[in-house]
Structure 1
């Protein structure tokens, strides 16, 4: 949205249009984080598709960013409008004098802290003097002298031509506007030679006139005192205390501001009573010309124009625009329309004829110079291939409510229109109807149902071409039942775990969450399709069902019930899953590490015990047991012969026990043979030795012995 500038005391009016959405969005206005509420000063008017905010008696503090917020269940949209309130500036800082001499003094001051919302400046008058005019202009007698100089400034500058030492140019035709000045002398002679001077000056000024007092006090009036005050102030300031005429021009006024003026007569005995202007005087002038003029549309008997606002309104709001027309071959311009907007349609024209158009802006001070369209316009029907201007591609509506889809389009000549839904021609019914105007396609659906959901294809065709536009319709309805039946995944003495499948139909938008019910209790905002109901009472019976809710806030019918479920721990004897390698002996070398693990099952989950013989094992420096509720694990580091043997994994729960044995063999060197060493059968070349086997065979059968003699 475009920014807005208003003057202090005026009313701020901001209108937001095309507030669209399904369901229809709500809107609100805010500024600086605070929301506007209707009051004597603030007025808010809202329709189904627009909202207008009005703030009376604007002041500088009302400047800032105004935000319009529209929202519905599917999102939030914000637009910002920057508003500037213009007011008179504050007073300059203290005046300081320096460089005082008998001839001059230098004054300095600080700029006002408040500039009134606009830089404190006037635009000094300027003119663009052609390079040829800066030289001596030579021409023959009886020729015409034409001097044309573009000028600019704010307020609009006044141009004055003189000759020589300031003599008026009597024989010249002078034409001056806000943007140029020209001097023309026909049939020049040698007496027209000389130096021509152009003076351009501007200021915001008001000229006052008055009659002398009826009673001069018996003494001649020696002078008048002229004073002024801004309409927002109470005190008058003296403009001139030594005026000797009954007219005076007050300059250096602020453009766009209102002033009161008064005049007092003075004789040698004092100052008389003042005469004051009855109403305030607004310092303004006629506006500048409108901006660029564009041809918006043309038919065989009408032309539609649009244009930009003037760059400057002259200090007073533009009240209307004057549109003028000039047929080809006619010298005179004639008024066609006066409009308040920056657009106009001029009708009643003759087909095939050529016209020129121009537009002028008008305020309370007068009418601006006109702005002319760049080229003549020939009145004839245009040939334009169809173009659909889609603002939205998807439209949503609550089931049972009405939906209107509007699609702007352009086509010359008028296009033929066809509607197709999901590949089939759309048929008119008592609920569904479609139509077209010269610029708008309409689809109307009454009491929308799920049958209206789908993809609609619009085809526009004329002699210049063909185009298509796709529209998606979503009907927001209650979703289908959660697909069932609701499954019971797990039951304990104080909880039940249930699961279900999403509905086959989501009601036209995403399922937001589920609501579960059992007895008189509810659980809500379940995002997934599984829930654990806790805090149940053992041996009590419960039934569960689930309801789906979609993003439109619509609830489905409940799912089918789970049936009665008793809150009781399920009994399942323990069992385990173990790697097949543990069914054979586990063989390791002394000093190596080994482990045994298995997955544990059962309801309730069984306790886990590691046994060796009749002794239950625990953690030591070399042995670590790391069980979880569903995993049994034991590991041994740097195995020794004593770590070999039969390990038993024992599981227990109320359903029974389960044990599995794992045999571990640790291989090491055997112990020394047992004595005493018995020597028998001694001869000169042999003897017989006998001994007992070692107590430790190193985990493997003794294969042989090795002897040595000394």
Structure 2
């Protein structure tokens, strides 16, 4: 065979294994075998196939000729070692022998023992084998020999023993995506960071704050097998800074830095003054706040209020300079101004307010009124929208509407069946902008009749009528 064999090895049959000793392993598929059980001080089992054991005494069967047996396999090496298995590989020997190659026999010898134990009882035509079910902490030597029908050739032996030990997984920290940038919280809020990590065996985790140990009075840390949790019940601005998580495992370590920024509302601007007033404009200037809330300012909010109403209106939002000109002020009004600071938490709780008022003066204008003939717009009442007949349901309030035009404003009188109903609590009369309304609260059949709206002023009077019918509910 010239290359590495990758085909699966056949398992031994029940009849063959029955005659084997208890410490001879069974062959598993794909060149994988179970490790032989430790026999302690028991005698070595009788081999079923020729194996490269110690030279036999002179009385034994004579060794086959050198040209009939294959030479030692080449490039024996360990491919992989885990906490319960080892994989070795080799290359075919340079000389296969006259009788041809039947396979390879892999043998193990524990460190300190003299006995070589075969892993596969029959030669297998593979150049890579995996031995499983090994005991953690074992050290053993490995050798492999090529076998022909004439016997086994000289073995190839590993120079160093193979050590079965626990696999060390280098520590690794997986920082959540939202913590890869500055983590911002407000003063008084809770901080709860859960940082997962990997490592085998369990690594040791530790935290620092700006390069120093954590204050156990303020910060709690809980580390579990696969994560570490940092908890602050009520954040303060002093908790801002760089928190570094270090995970260590047998000389290996991984680090992750998390920047935390604890902020609060900024203070108000230190001072504000009115620089100038001209026309319908006013110029302001203020100084930045001494306390920005532990973060950058998003700008300033400028508001104005006229002296008459005292209501504040915003004229500028998130304005960055510290000077501004406010225009479109109303002539004749006097204005106060105030400025708030703003950051991520919002506007400052208080504002800087101007001490002086900005008086928008009227310009001296000489009025030259044109002569005109004053017109008399007086007129007697006339209804532009009459009352309409209406049908209502008992118990549901109803309304009657009409519109009247008159100058001067007329006096409105409501009547039912020619009787004045003003002052009756059952009725409510309204008159606004010439629209006259009569509301009848929860009418009954007794309220049916003819309703009249009369408008009276000094120039005359007018009236409109309608009929209201309140139908009694049908009884069953």
When the two structures are superposed, what TM-score results if normalisation uses the length of structure 2? Answer: 0.37
When the two structures are superposed, what TM-score results if normalisation uses the length of structure 1? Answer: 0.26
